[in-house]
Chains A and B, each alone.
Chain A
Amino acid sequence: MNCMRVFIIVLTAFLIIGCKSNSGKKVTVYSPHGKEMLSDFEKQFETLHPDIDVQWLDMGSQEIFDRIRTEKENPLCDVWWGAPSTIFMRAEKSGLLEKYVPSWADRIPEASKSIDGYWFGTYLTPQVIAFNDKTLAAQDAPKDWSQLISPEWKDKIVIRNPMASGTMRVIFSAMIANSIKTTGSEVYGFEWLKMLDENTSSYSADPTQMYIKLSGNDKAVTLWNMPDIILQKTLYKYPFGYNFPESGTVVLTDGIALVKGAKNSEPAKEFYEFVTSAESLIRQSEKYYRIPARKDIEKSRLPDWISKASYITMDLDWQLISENEPDWMKKWDSEIKGKSKQ
């Protein structure tokens, strides 16, 4: 019977340790912005507010959306920092967001914010064609959307599994929205996605797996956002290069919002204001290659690379994308993904 006694003692000991409740103020942040930027701003914020504990979970923006939807009755997240505007539009419609108008609300263009004040844009994130620059020179890498689907890149393309990735979902949906705009129907867009799938060698479960495949495979090519590609290259010496698609690239608006029914709404507002202040945005642009969506920050205060980055912005109907993305992605998943491999 000794064993039973030990078991009970261990259990009570654990229960006692477990009950040491941390009664201090805290704020929970769900964000896809990556551990480097998140832990940096966690530390900065905690130095300024030693009484508030910042807790963050790093997840894909689509996963965050699903979690917040699941937790609707019992919200566990306070600040949702980072997702394409299309996802925020849907979250707003589903009543998942709390109205909050930040101090800088009037300094941001109409297109980069919710009209009713549920979410606000933080960065403009251009999507790029990234490649392994150890085995591929920039001039030999694909330079436009149309080149990606040529047989030359068969089995060279790696893609982050789009179902869980807000970034990939927006890129794919933008192709269809653009097809509707230019040809009047979505047929061409789906055709393009089908040919891209034929060239795709694998879909990765998370961004890191994708980076590894991109750096480990000969002449590998992917579609991803510019800030992450530069950040990974500078921090971890990944052999990454990128091209902006010549005909124009998808530039999505990343945003920030408070979650409806959040339990720590006061510290959440503090955190919201802190990470979106002009100083923070400048730091994010210097260290994490984010382009501020706010237009009031003078060019001279921002790093050089922003003015040097020259890309054409694809003109897209974001409302249309937001409304149709789930159906388009479902169609892609059931009718296109992996079909060429069978």
Chain B
Amino acid sequence: MIFLPHDRTSQREAAQLVRNRIMPNSYDLVALAILAALIVLLAHGASAMRAPAAVLSAAPVTLDIANLPEYALRTTLRMFAAIIASLLFTFTVATLAAKSRRAEMVIIPALDILQSVPVLGFLTFTVTFFVGLFPGSQLGAECASIFAIFTAQAWNMAFSFYQSLRTVPRDLDEVSRGFGLSAWQRFWRLEAPFAAPGLVWNTMMSMSGGWFFVVASEAITVGNTTVQLPGIGSWLALAIDKQDFRAVGWAVLAMGILILLYDQLLFRPIVAWADKFRFEQTASQQKPRSWAYDVLRGARLVKILVAPFAWVWQRLMLVRLGRRRAAPAAANPTVSRLIDRLWLGFVLVIALWGAWTAVSYMHRTLGWSDVTEAFGGGLVTLVRVVVLIAIASLIWVPIGVWIGLRPAVAERVQPLAQFLAAFPANVLFPFAVLAIVATGANPSIWLSPLMVLGTQWYILFNVIAGASAFPADLKEAAAVFKLRSWSWWRYVILPGIFPYYVTGALTASGGSWNASIVAELASWGNTKLEAFGLGSYIARATEVGDFPRVVFGIAVMSFFVTLFNRTLWRPLYVFAERRMRLD
């Protein structure tokens, strides 16, 4: 449906509009060119993905600059495939969890645990599994890589969607039921739009985390199998192997351009579009803007191209899938409780069986020394995460506050902070490794900062957001009562940004655990640096294809992350919600 802007008043503008109807406008040219380019690239990349595996060995990844754009494209396509898979997962699994109480009992705790499982650990199995699934085709390795990115993205998106579905406003729910919207109509008219802002934000966070994993998952060595998928990650792995410093620089540049393009062409338009789904009934103060979105909206040819899809969409909206829901009659409580018990019992049996299988599998090869090594390493990694987050907070909280309180500065720095958070830090690792090798510093200490290299920016940009949102009247009150230095920090700004800080630090610490797997074991050519920790334990086991140790390492790390979240971050979160909300 196309609506003309309603604030059109003058004759001149009306005339302009009529002429625009016929003549393609300048927006059209830009938009069409970009769209055509995207379609061509998509087709090219997709056909390359299905190439037989032999192509990989016949034409291995080379450090030829001419190939870099192609590699960048392939990396991007992997990202998109993963995000589409994540969205499908979100729409189905989260919806199921929100609609069915019994599915919810299983799905929600499962998602909670999956969130804390180190993604990179998965690679070992998934490569073996997917390569077996598509023998002789590159698709197997592609799927493994995409799956790795998927596992880094899907959980928080599903969580966000589930929470939105559970908090659909009661009156809108009643309108929908009163008019007898079918389940299908209800989903697209009420539930999906209501969930959109949260989902878009979470997808953005997921994508920015995803670059890290796409780089880590393209070049994989599992035991004797080495797969190098054409992409920036493989380019980087090769550059490290060949000790080619210039090639690493090119990778950094390519990655930067890629993230910039992705941000400008995809994310900003989507955020600008999703603004209309915000539930607050007041007109927003500052609308998110995007030139790409304006171009798309301004282009009349684009509208003509989109019209058939809009028509199909309209038809689809009339489809009455699912019965009209009758008023929820009170179900027989005793029967329902009985089914609940049976279901819970069934889940419990499955879980016990799973635990037994896992333990007996690991028991065959693992000894007590593994237990002490993994848990000891876990403690060391835990200390690293805590210390590094503390140091990063000490540095970035004051800077973030300083920036956030100055809107003009914040406007410029905030996109930069978001860019840095999305930039895969593993691309920068070689520089650090080189420095450690050159100076002969202790890797157990100096490899650690790599863990927060990419994740510290979450702290920065959340603190900036918090300080920017700090109410002006409280700032003025603090100024009137002459609160200075420590008392200003203690009573005014720190409580004011606390909820934002907790969000940032939580994201940062989660990312750091994941990063430990690549940060604690780094190499440059033949030089290998290793820091003692759980991350290096998993990384070493992966390299030699020692599955039981990988499983065990992942389990221990999941345990640590879950414990850390439950005992520190969640209570802080609850505290921030209860005591420091400013609305």
Partners in one complex: no
